[in-house]
A = this chain, B = another copy of it.
Amino acid sequence: MLTDEISRRILRHMQAEPDLPMAELAQRAGLAAGTCARRLEKMREAGIYQGVQAIINWAALGYSVEVSLRVTLDKTQSRAFDEFIEEARKIPEVSEIHTFLGRVDVRLAVLARDMAHYQEIYKTRILTLPHIADIEALMQVAAIKMSEDLPL
């Protein structure tokens, strides 16, 4: 029931238009409003639907620089991974942290107002993180697609 076709349909519409009123969402999924709310609540309890996230245009707020950093850690120390993540989480300008299998261990997304600001964050907050063996940086030009109609 939690992952059947009807529930997937709810998630699909939820994904496409997240701030639709419940009644509208229900109609598009072919359900009554109450039923839809009940299913969504079940999915939330099961951790399938994890709520919503605000999308903010950082450039409009003066954060025009976004940099993607790929970090390779010094794996000679067993706690390197956890310690690095723990410290990286504390940096407000780090907006995303993803971990990987392979040569690269972690990817960080960093937000900054301009290049001078980025340089400052990089020197004082990033390079002081523990256990870094190597860093590669890419400057982001644009976010083209972010989860519109994923496979459900």
Tell me the A residues contacting B by CB distance below 8 Å: 3, 8, 11, 14-15, 18-19, 46-58, 60-63, 68, 85, 88-89, 92-104, 107, 111, 138-147, 149-152
Contact = CB atoms under 8 A, between A and B. Distances in A.
A55 B50 contact: yes
A52 B19 contact: yes
A18 B63 contact: no
B89 A144 contact: yes
B138 A63 contact: no
B53 A55 contact: yes
Contacts of A96: 143, 145-147
A53 B138 contact: no
Contact of A104 (B103, B138, B150): B138
B48 A111 contact: no
A41 to B, nearest CB: 12
A138 B101 CA distance: 6
Contacts of A58: 150
B53 A98 contact: no
A57 B63 contact: no
